[in-house]
Structure 1
Amino acid sequence: MENLSESISTLVNFLEVQFTQFREKMWKILVAIGLLLVTGVLFLVGFAMTAWGIYLGLSLLVPPFVAAIIDAGLAFGSGVCMLLIAKRKIL
């Protein structure tokens, strides 16, 4: 009976240590995901403001619809470049 009691006690202690380590790792992962989300939102806002600034600058030189087309082309081109760079990094 003592063997069974010691085995159960050892198992409980082992599980407690494993759960603590798992909880610490999970917390780090959740913080990293949260930071990635905040970074993504800030990047999108910065990109949108840059695109708007380019549009406003171009609209002084050319008609607004031409400025919008040029701005959209630059945004699309930079998006494609980022996608290709990410693909190269992953593969």
Structure 2
Amino acid sequence: MEFTPELDSQQKPVILWKRTDLQSNDGRRGKIKNNIWRVSQLTQADNGYYIFRQNDSTLESIVHLTVKEKTLGYERQEGELLFIQYPTSGGPW
């Protein structure tokens, strides 16, 4: 599995995982278990294209991942209090 932030990006794809060589897991993002690549705590840095190829490099499939922010809306009147809870997961603000 290759990863590239955008298909037209100047960056070369990063090989994250070779299905025929389970020890080839890149390890920067995700772990392989039972032939499944798993990523926890996705961030917007994970946005991009995940490209799967057969052994002969023939294109098998492309997955486009877009991680969106969680938004909350608050409406308050002048003089009212506002409480915003610190996120329970993810990185620091």
Normalising by structure 1, we get a TM-score of 0.30
Higher strand share: 2
Kindly indicate whether structure 1 or structure 2 has the higher relative contact order, using CA contacts under 8 Å at least 6 residues apart: 2
Higher helix share: 1
Normalising by structure 2, we get a TM-score of 0.29
